[in-house]
Amino acid sequence: MAKIAIIGTGYVGLASAVGFAQLGHDVVGIDIDEIKVQKLTSGKSPIFEKDIEKFLVKSLKKKKITFSTDYKKISKAKFVFLCLPTPQLDDGSADTSYILESSKLLSKHISDSATLVIKSTVPVNTWKAVKQVLNRKDVLIVSNPEFLREGTALEDFFKPDRIVVGCEVEKKAKEVANLYKAKNAKVVFTDNTSAEIIKYASNSFLAIKLSFVNEIAAYAESTDANALEVLHAMGLDKRIGKEFLKPGPGWGGMCFPKDVSALKESAREKNVPIPLLDAALESNLKAHARIVKKIIDALGGSLKDKNVAVWGLAFKANTDDTRFSPAISVVELLIAAGAKVTAFDPVVKHVQLSLK
């Protein structure tokens, strides 16, 4: 079993830490938030995620996982995973400052010949910037993007569709892949830069697909066709597939909006713009407004002083994450149109609205 350090205990970091510990590895989770560290050490998860607290408690009892704010605790780790946020900047690009600042700190404490694994979703060639900032010739950089869905993060960790590992050294790439013990997963060995792009391309393709589905559903309804039957029949074509063919109020969460915008901005910087990404983002905003228009039409053309109930505030089921949630956007539009909104979500406890 390996000694693993996880830097950052957000959705990706905590799911990865708990997952690796459950597989039998010795894991230390590092986070700058002392209150979060104390909470995790006591067996309480700061996020709502299926089974994560159950496995966290098991691993704590077996002493397979610990948490700390002290970077010195990584000194014995053979593999150090960067699971830090890359939030969206005002121009749509990804902020890699957390990744680079952490790499500077790691340089002082990471053990000789250890492996630094970038699991965060990062812009193309971030691994080169990390390598430069780390300034450790004995430490190899591996790009190992995550494909964990909120609500099913641990299931995805234990039974991944594929494991993507980008590295200049094949032996080191295989070592990282073997940590997952996923015998049935397809392992893709590639270079670091390609691994970085694979994550952005995957999420952006799914976002484009969802936007197309919502546009087709709107068009089908305008012709009195049955939108669900249209989409079901489309999905029977194996070239299209049945997944991600359900219309809705738009896509959200922390990944799709951020990753589509980041890829869009990166492509623009490289002078190879991808207009489909602009269209997907615009279409998603139209989906929010389309839902509100349906409600206005159903209530006689006006929402002024009308009582509207909203069921669900998270961006998807089985999570408490409201970041970039289409439900929140719809609520804000309803209120702006004069509606009195009462909302309920079984797990969301706090919501911050942006009202004009």
In the numeric block, the tokens 């704010």 are attached to 69
Q: Are 136 and 107 in contact (CB under 8 A)?
A: yes
Going along the chain from its start, the domains and CATH numbers come out as 3-190 (3.40.50.720), 199-344 (3.40.50.720)
CB-facing half-sphere around the CA of 200: CA atoms within 13 A: 26
For this structure, is 83 an active site residue?
no
Instruction: Write out pLDDT tens, residues 186-197.
Output: 999 999 999 999
CA angle 144, 198, 28 (to 5 degrees): 20
Q: What is the pLDDT of residue 351?
A: 87
Buried b (16+ CB within 10 A) or exposed e, 218-237: bebeeeeeebeebbeeebee
Residue % of the chain over a pLDDT of 70? 100
Give the residue among 136, 7, 163, 170 at the shortest CA–CA distance from 73: 7
Nearest-angstrom CA–CA distance, 121 and 95: 10
Which residue type does 200 have? Y
Q: What is the pLDDT of residue 349?
A: 85
From 134, 177, 198, 255, the catalytic residue: 255
What is the chain's mean pLDDT, rounded? 95
Q: Please list, in sequence order, all residues whose beta carbon lies within 8 angstroms of the beta carbon of residue 347, skipping any fewer than 6 positions away.
A: 48, 314, 318, 319, 320
Tell me 179's DSSP state: T
Q: What is the pLDDT of residue 356?
A: 64
CA angle 94, 327, 341 (to 5 degrees): 135
- pTM comes to 0.92
Residue 321 backbone class (left: φ over 0; alpha: ψ -120 to 50; beta: rest): beta
Q: What is the pLDDT of residue 183?
A: 85
Q: Which two tokens stand for residue 303?
A: 């929402």
Instruction: Write out pLDDT tens, residues 23-66.
Output: 999 999 999 999 999 999 999 999 999 999 999 999 999 999 99
Give the residue among 12, 251, 77 at the shortest CA–CA distance from 261: 251
**Three-state DSSP class for 68?**
strand
Q: What is the pLDDT of residue 352?
A: 82
Q: Which two tokens stand for residue 150?
A: 């909120």
Instruction: Write out pLDDT tens, residues 179-236.
Output: 999 888 999 999 999 999 999 999 999 999 999 999 999 999 999 999 999 999 999 9
Residue 260's CB is within 10 A of a number of other CB atoms, namely: 28
353 confidence band (pLDDT: 50, 70, 90): confident
